[in-house]
């Protein structure tokens, strides 16, 4: 029988053990990679700039006057009693240069040429609204001087 040298045998065993250890370590690393969650992607915080505030709506004096007068005319036409209508009439007349301010009602327009109904005054027009309880016209043009209405043009709704 032949004896193997102890040194050679132990070198084989050592090599075998080293390979097994390396394989075991390699397997552990791959398991760690599989078990460990992937690092969360960096969340870049987007700086959300607030939208600039919309520019304040600047309305012209004419637009403000038209809105007020339309409200007065509707209030006068729909008033349930004469006292309320008369108060609205006084408020509306305060916006005009005088009670004889002309009110023109366009009945037809063609090619830029306007045909008007018989001219009236603001006093007569608001009394008409109070009596008929109907506001059938809207303001299509307004002329102001010194903050007071000097001429009013209406059209059929």
Q: What pLDDT digit, counting tens, does each position of 90-134 carry? A: 999 999 999 999 999 999 999 999 999 999 999 999 999 999 999
Say if pTM beats, i.e. exceeds, 0.85. Answer: no
Q: Is residue 102 part of a domain?
A: yes
C-alpha distances in Å from residue 95, one per residue of 61, 77, 142, 143, 152:
12, 18, 12, 12, 11
Average pLDDT of 59-67? 93
Q: Is residue 30 part of a domain?
A: no
| CATH code, domain with 132 | 3.10.450
User: What is residue 43's predicted lDDT score, i.e. its pLDDT?
Assistant: 62
Per the structure, how many domains does the chain have?
1
Average pLDDT of 3-25? 66
User: What is residue 5's predicted lDDT score, i.e. its pLDDT?
Assistant: 56
CA distance 15 to 102: 116
Q: Is residue 120 part of a domain?
A: yes
Domain ranges, residue 141: 61-156
**H-type helices in the chain, by residue range?**
6-35, 61-78, 82-93, 122-132
Looking up tokens 């709506």, which residue turns up? Answer: 57
Q: Is residue 152 part of a domain?
A: yes
């Amino acid at each position: 029988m032949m004896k193997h040298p102890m040194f050679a045998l132990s070198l084989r065993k050592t090599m075998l053990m080293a390979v097994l250890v390396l394989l075991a370590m390699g397997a552990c690393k791959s398991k760690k990679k599989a078990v460990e969650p992937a690092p969360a992607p960096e969340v870049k915080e987007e700086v959300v700039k607030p939208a600039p505030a919309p520019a304040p709506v600047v309305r012209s004096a004419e637009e403000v006057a038209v809105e007020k007068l339309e409200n007065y005319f509707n209030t006068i036409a729909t008033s349930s009693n004469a006292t309320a209508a008369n108060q609205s009439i006084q408020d509306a007349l305060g916006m005009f240069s005088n009670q004889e301010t002309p009110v023109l009602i366009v009945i037809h327009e063609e090619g830029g040429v306007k045909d008007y109904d018989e001219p009236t005054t603001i006093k007569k027009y608001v009394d008409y609204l109070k009596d008929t309880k109907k506001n059938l016209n809207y303001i299509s043009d307004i002329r102001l001087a010194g903050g007071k209405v000097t001429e009013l043009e209406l059209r059929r709704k």
